[in-house]
Amino acid sequence: MTATTAAAPPQPIPPDGGPLAEPASPKRRRKLTPYWLLLPGIAWLVVFFAVPMLYQGSTSLQTGSLEEGFKVTWHFSTYWDALVEYRWHFLRSFSYAAVATVLCLAVGYPLAYTIAFKASKRWRNVILVLVIAPFFTSFLIRTLAWKTILSDGGPVVGALDALHVLDVTNLLGLTSGDRVLATPLAVVCGLTYNFLPFMILPLYTSLERIDPRLHEAAGDLYARPFTTFRKVTFPISLPGVVAGTLLTFIPASGDYINAQLLGSPSEQMVGNGIQKQFLNVLDYPTAAALSFILMALILGMVTVYMRKAGTEDLV
């Protein structure tokens, strides 16, 4: 009895008579899959970030007017002129943002700690919903609400005046007379409220991952609650602190709505200067230069901050 062998299927012959191209192996396709998945995100960044950045960079080096048109003349002195003219705006922006970031951390950390360790699962979800609930309202409306809260003769100003808090803030230069609106304090209050969720959510995420058994182990070693917090809880939650401070400080530095609605011309931030140059003065090169200077300064500060308190050194 002879065994029959199946005939091999005929191989296709390439038209040019050259060797056949080997099909891509599954392993090679798997290696290329992540890059294909990243392609939409990369395309989005190129179209909506890289291209506008190049256009803004070109605009910052132009000279001219809206009537005559703008031409690229590589006028780098625009950067220096913008920095000198708006140096106080930059100083106010970074100082207001820094104070608001510290206040957000002081308010947000206890709240995030309570949500992570003290609240039950049922109330935990309720509190988290309340934290993110302001995001369902327009940023502009939330800021206008603070204008009503801090209005002259309102209950908040009356209570601060009765407690003689305004006397202290007047000495510090945060308020003027018996009013809070159109003062640095009002701008800082608006920044703190509007960016507080950006601080709470990273803190909660970092604290929620801490194993409660670490607290029990610290108690077994006769550590007091404050010592447990200082030696165990806070060091482990530092990545959340770093993320929260960055997510608060960076957008607060470039904000202009709070200074526009809650402050006066003497409390204007660099964002107000950029808006003025773009929309009112129509000096596009100066506005673009201000944008790049702000971005460069924030990038430099964030780099130094991350090197000093980066998450890679916190574990």
Query: What is the domain range of residue 175?
Result: 87-313
Is 46 among the domain residues?
no
Is 13 among the domain residues?
no
pLDDT tens digits for range 8-67: 555 555 555 555 555 556 777 778 888 888 999 999 999 999 999 999 999 999 998 888
CATH number for the domain that contains residue 238: 1.10.3720.10
Query: Residues near 127 by Cβ (< 8 Å), separated by ≥ 6?
Result: 111, 114, 115, 119
**Angstrom distances, CA of residue 63 to CA of 85, 158, 197, 249:** 17, 52, 42, 33
Tell me, what's the pLDDT at 308? Answer: 82
> Number of structural domains, the chain?
1
Is 237 among the domain residues?
yes
Tell me, what's the pLDDT at 204? Answer: 95
What does R_g of the chain's alpha carbons equal in angstroms?
A: 29
Q: Say which residue, 121 or 128, is predicted with more confidence.
A: 128
Tell me, what's the pLDDT at 35? Answer: 84
Q: Say which residue, 33 or 76, is predicted with more confidence.
A: 76
Q: At what angle do helices 284-309 and 77-85 cross, to 10 degrees?
A: 80
Q: Say which residue, 18 or 113, is predicted with more confidence.
A: 113
What sections of the chain are H helices per DSSP?
26-45, 51-60, 77-85, 87-113, 121-132, 139-149, 155-162, 165-172, 184-208, 212-220, 225-228, 234-236, 238-253, 257-262, 270-275, 284-309
What is the average per-residue pLDDT within 160-188?
89
How many CB atoms neighbour CB 254 within 10 A?
Answer: 16
In angstroms, the CA 119 to CA 129 distance is 14
Is 6 among the domain residues?
no
Is 50 among the domain residues?
no
Is 78 among the domain residues?
no
Is 233 among the domain residues?
yes
Tell me, what's the pLDDT at 315? Answer: 38
Is 202 among the domain residues?
yes
